[in-house]
């Protein structure tokens, strides 16, 4: 019995020799750039091509590959007289509707606000981007997501330091103060309104603050402390606010680090009652304002008063300004 | 003189391979493809000869239902076990989705990706050593009526919707809209539609649609008018444009943005979160609506 390879190479096996040669050269150039002589030598070692060798054969084969859509640079001094295969059209390819569906999938995943899942998905898409039919769709897969501006090394460090609650020195590109350095103890990360934030204690401002991760330019672990700094323990001020949600906001609500659903009653007008441990009022009222009339603060009275104050200020802006 | 000669048979083999990377083909389809692209007539045996050539070079070709297809890409991508675990998760997730078009498109994309995985990684599925990625919280999907609305979107006819409106004590609002697409937000299926009356896009959570009637006439989707808003202070410096937003003007301490794509009611609520650092400039109806919304919110605590 003939071995498989021998059987396949038997003369009665009907193949296109020139097609074989074109693919043979393509595969060899996919491995590495080669000179004409190197290709001829490879021909001489191949049982199918060995009897049909000439310099012209190489040129014709390269021309054939080029006509089929391969981008092969001409041998020159710069390429050390090698043919360099820059691209070829024989890889599998997504259709435009595949790209659109993959983007929709990512958009739907983003709404779940699961940071780690999104990071995994982005990495997966970066690799899959080589299957995109053109540069535009390739860039869509690589860059069109809310974490595009984030440096993953910095994000990694923040995740680690938040886990062990170690003080770090951060270089932050603030919209107001430009680049500034300050010490910060990261506690956790949140993903809100398609932006990633790190929450923690800022020694400089003596408050529990949140920073946009894409604006953090560097993170350095603080290893040397003064004696007084070593024992510093920051107690964040937390105010408990109880509020109810209905409608679209209730349907789309998801718990976060500071909030838990206390009651859920599908039969009442306000289906959710939420308890919030508010450590940053600005961020909390941002959320409350975006719920519009779907939200009703139950307690404390001070939170209601503060919301009313914000509403008054926003309205005043409309009364004073005319475009 | 420059040698520009090519090998025609070699070219045809390459063309067959190229076309097979795009779609499965029967020998007849390959023959037709070659005849159309070269203007010559060929015998069917020629195609089989070309397929033999591809197979001889270890190109993994298989045949299902009379059609040949490339089983594995000629070049693999450096996908690893994490990617495989994520791919298994995506498959599991889309399995829970009822939107056929979306589901099929994702499955088709995953099949293409799968054919580019290194073989040894893919073998982990067979040996059951890789499990699907498990997210922190399980992602549940609620989309009972999605197939019906997927069809409405494909039909392109107008719809009359009754939609539960929470602002009006759960009374139904009637909308005459052009359905465009169904998307998923936090696992809920949401219909994106064009409203010719208000000349804007609107979002309808499918589970809140209480009644729907399809009109027999084809509805033309218009181009919605923009909402212009101004952001001031530090927000102007740090604002990241959303999908479909255009930066119209940049001043010393402000920017003006045009937004066309968002549901206006949802946009107005989003803009409220920017406190007094944001002002809606145009159209007048949106300016009035944000003031009305503030009044309604104030009245809740009067």
Report ipTM (2 d.p.). 0.88
Q: What is the dihedral angle through the alpha carbons of B120, B126, B129, B131, rounded to the nearest 10 degrees? A: 110
Q: Regarding predicted confidence, which is higher, B3 or A254? A: A254
* Residue A148 Cα distances to A104, A106, A126, A194, A195, angstroms: 16, 13, 11, 11, 10
Please check whether residue A267 touches B, CB under 8 A: no
pLDDT band at A214 (very low <50, low <70, confident <90, very high): very high
pLDDT given at position A221: 84
Instruction: State pLDDT tens for residues A76-85.
Output: 999 999 999 9
Confidence check: pLDDT of B4 > 90: no
CB-side neighbour CA atoms (13 Å) of A315: 15
pLDDT (average), residues B244-266: 94
Please check whether residue A64 touches B, CB under 8 A: yes
pLDDT band at B251 (very low <50, low <70, confident <90, very high): very high
A 14-43 near B (Cβ less than 8 A): 14-16, 18-24, 26-27, 30
pLDDT (average), residues B16-39: 91
A 219-238 near B (Cβ less than 8 A): none
pLDDT band at B170 (very low <50, low <70, confident <90, very high): low
Which residues in chain A have Cβ-Cβ distances shorter than 8 Å to B15? 68
Evaluate whether A206 touches A233 at the Cβ level (below 8 Å).
Answer: no
pLDDT given at position A321: 59
Beta strands B200-205 and A178-192: pairing type?
unpaired
Chain A nearest CA to B125, separation (Å): 17
pLDDT (average), residues B277-301: 95
Please check whether residue B288 touches A, CB under 8 A: no
* B191 CA to centre of own chain: 13
CB-side neighbour CA atoms (13 Å) of A209: 15
Q: Please give the Cα distance from B47 to B104 (Å, whole number).
A: 30
Confidence check: pLDDT of B61 > 80: yes
Chain B nearest CA to A30, separation (Å): 9
Give me the percent of chain B exceeding a pLDDT of 70: 97
pLDDT band at B263 (very low <50, low <70, confident <90, very high): very high
Q: Regarding predicted confidence, which is higher, A175 or A148? A: A148
pLDDT (average), residues B269-294: 94
Confidence check: pLDDT of A282 > 50: yes
The residues, any chain, with a CB within 8 Å of residue B284's CB and separated by 6 or more, are none
Please check whether residue B38 touches A, CB under 8 A: no
DSSP code string of B59-123: --EEEETTEEEESS-SS-----HHHHHHHHHHHHHHHT---HHHHHHHHHHHHHHHTTS-HHHHH
The residues, any chain, with a CB within 8 Å of residue A110's CB and separated by 6 or more, are A118, A145, A146, A194
Confidence check: pLDDT of A137 > 70: yes
Confidence check: pLDDT of A64 > 60: yes
Task: Among A14-18, A277-281, B30-34, B40-44, name the one with the lowest average pLDDT.
Answer: B40-44
The residues, any chain, with a CB within 8 Å of residue A191's CB and separated by 6 or more, are A113, A114, A115, A118, A146, A197
Please check whether residue B69 touches A, CB under 8 A: no
Instruction: State pLDDT tens for residues A81-113.
Output: 999 999 999 999 999 999 999 999 999 999 998
Confidence check: pLDDT of B192 > 80: yes
End-to-end CA distance of chain A: 89
Neighbours of A123 (CB within 10 A): 16
Task: Among A116-120, B92-96, B128-132, name the one with the lowest average pLDDT.
Answer: B128-132
pLDDT given at position B162: 93
Q: Which residue of A has its CA nearest to B281?
A: A323
Among B243, B291, B297, which Cα is nearest to B268's? B291
pLDDT (average), residues B88-93: 95
Q: Please give the Cα distance from A296 to A245 (Å, whole number).
A: 7
The partner residues of B278 in beta bridges, in order of sequence, read: B231
pLDDT given at position B165: 72
pLDDT (average), residues B222-228: 89
Please check whether residue B71 touches A, CB under 8 A: no
Confidence check: pLDDT of A7 > 60: no
pLDDT band at A322 (very low <50, low <70, confident <90, very high): low
DSSP code string of A247-282: HHHHHT---BTTEEEEEE-TTSSS-EEEEEEES-HH
Q: Please give the Cα distance from A161 to A200 (Å, whole number).
A: 11
Confidence check: pLDDT of A233 > 90: no
Per-range mean pLDDT, top range of A40-54, A214-228, B84-98, B155-169: B84-98
Which residues in chain A have Cβ-Cβ distances shorter than 8 Å to B111? none
* Token pair for B28: 């007849």
Q: Regarding predicted confidence, which is higher, A176 or A19? A: A19
Chain B nearest CA to A139, separation (Å): 15
Q: What is the mean pLDDT of chain A?
A: 88
- Cβ–Cβ of B272/A60 closer than 8 Å? no
Please check whether residue B19 touches A, CB under 8 A: no
Q: Please give the Cα distance from A118 to A107 (Å, whole number).
A: 10
pLDDT given at position A19: 94
The residues, any chain, with a CB within 8 Å of residue A225's CB and separated by 6 or more, are A167
Instruction: State pLDDT tens for residues B200-217.
Output: 999 999 999 999 999 988
pLDDT band at A186 (very low <50, low <70, confident <90, very high): very high
Query: Three-state SS string across A178-226, please?
Result: EEEEEEEEEEEEEEECCEEEEEEEECCCCEEEEEEHHHEEEEEECCCCC
Q: Please give the Cα distance from B99 to A31 (Å, whole number).
A: 42
Q: Please give the Cα distance from A193 to A200 (Å, whole number).
A: 19
pLDDT given at position B169: 54
Please check whether residue A91 touches B, CB under 8 A: yes
pLDDT given at position A193: 82
pLDDT given at position B217: 81
- Cβ–Cβ of A64/B275 closer than 8 Å? no
pLDDT given at position A9: 44
pLDDT (average), residues A191-210: 86
Beta strands B209-218 and B157-165: pairing type?
antiparallel
pLDDT given at position B243: 84
- Burial class of residue A267 (count of CB atoms within 10 Å of its CB; 0-12, 13-18, 19+): exposed
Long-range contacts formed by B199-203: CB under 8 A, 24+ apart: B199/B224, B199/B225, B200/B224, B200/B225, B200/B263, B200/B264, B201/B260, B201/B261, B201/B262, B201/B263, B202/B175, B202/B177, B202/B263, B202/B264, B202/B265, B203/B263, B203/B266
Please check whether residue A112 touches B, CB under 8 A: yes
CB pairs under 8 A between A and B: 264
Give me the percent of chain A exceeding a pLDDT of 70: 91
Please check whether residue B172 touches A, CB under 8 A: no
């Amino acid at each position: 019995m003939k071995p498989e390879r021998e059987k396949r190479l038997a003369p009665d096996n009907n193949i296109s020799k020139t097609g074989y040669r074109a693919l043979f050269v393509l595969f060899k150039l996919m491995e590495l750039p080669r000179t004409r002589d190197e290709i001829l030598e490879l021909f001489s070692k191949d049982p199918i091509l060995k009897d049909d060798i000439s310099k012209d054969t190489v040129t014709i084969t390269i021309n054939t590959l080029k006509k089929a859509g391969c981008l092969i640079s001409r041998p020159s001094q710069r390429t050390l007289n090698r043919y360099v295969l820059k691209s070829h059209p024989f890889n599998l390819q997504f259709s435009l509707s595949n790209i659109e569906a993959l983007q929709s999938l990512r958009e739907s995943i983003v709404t779940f606000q699961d940071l780690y899942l999104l990071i995994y998905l982005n990495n997966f898409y970066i690799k899959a981007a080589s299957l995109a039919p053109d540069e535009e769709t390739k860039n869509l897969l690589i860059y069109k997501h809310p974490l595009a501006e984030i440096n993953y090394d910095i994000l990694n460090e923040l995740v680690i330091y938040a886990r062990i609650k170690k003080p770090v020195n951060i270089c932050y590109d603030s919209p107001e103060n430009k680049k500034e350095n300050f010490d910060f103890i990261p506690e956790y990360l949140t993903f809100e309104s398609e932006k990633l934030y790190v929450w923690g204690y800022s020694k400089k401002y003596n408050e529990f603050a949140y920073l946009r991760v894409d604006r953090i330019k560097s993170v350095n672990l603080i290893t040397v402390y003064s004696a007084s700094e070593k024992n510093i323990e920051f107690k964040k001020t937390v105010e408990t606010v109880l509020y109810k949600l209905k409608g679209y906001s209730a349907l789309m609500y998801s718990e976060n680090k500071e909030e838990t659903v206390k009651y859920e009653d599908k039969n009442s007008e306000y289906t959710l009652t939420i308890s919030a441990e508010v450590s940053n009022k600005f961020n909390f009222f941002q959320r409350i304002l975006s719920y519009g009339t779907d939200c009703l603060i139950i307690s404390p009275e001070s939170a209601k008063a503060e919301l009313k104050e914000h509403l008054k200020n926003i309205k005043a802006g409309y009364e004073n300004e005319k475009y | 003189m420059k040698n520009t000669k090519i090998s025609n048979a070699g070219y045809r083999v390459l063309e067959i391979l190229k076309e097979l990377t795009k779609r499965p083909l029967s020998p007849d389809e390959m023959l037709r493809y070659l005849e159309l692209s070269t203007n010559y007539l060929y015998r069917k045996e020629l195609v089989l000869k070309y397929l033999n050539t591809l197979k001889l070079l270890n190109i993994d070709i298989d045949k299902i239902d009379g059609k040949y297809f490339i089983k594995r890409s000629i070049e693999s991508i450096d996908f690893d076990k994490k990617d495989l675990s994520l791919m298994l998760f995506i498959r599991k997730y889309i399995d829970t989705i009822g939107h056929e078009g979306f589901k099929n498109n994702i499955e088709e994309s995953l099949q293409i990706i799968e054919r580019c995985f290194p073989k040894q990684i893919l073998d982990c599925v067979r040996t059951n050593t890789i499990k699907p990625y498990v997210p922190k919280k399980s992602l549940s999907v609620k989309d009972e009526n999605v197939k019906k609305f997927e069809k409405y979107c494909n039909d392109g006819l107008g719809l009359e919707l009754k939609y539960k409106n929470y602002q009006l004590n759960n009374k139904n609002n009637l909308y005459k809209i052009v359905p465009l697409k169904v998307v998923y937000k936090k696992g809920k299926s949401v219909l994106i539609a064009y409203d010719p009356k208000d000349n804007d896009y609107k979002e309808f959570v499918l589970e809140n649609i209480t009644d729907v009637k399809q009109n027999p006439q084809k509805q033309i989707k218009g181009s919605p008018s923009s909402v212009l808003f101004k952001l001031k202070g530090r927000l102007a410096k740090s604002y990241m444009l959303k999908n479909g937003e255009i930066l119209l003007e940049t001043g010393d301490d402000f920017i003006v943005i045009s937004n066309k794509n968002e549901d206006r009611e949802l946009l107005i609520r989003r803009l409220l979160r920017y406190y007094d650092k944001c002002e809606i400039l145009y159209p007048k109806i949106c300016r009035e609506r944000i003031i009305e919304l503030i009044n309604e919110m104030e009245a809740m605590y009067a």
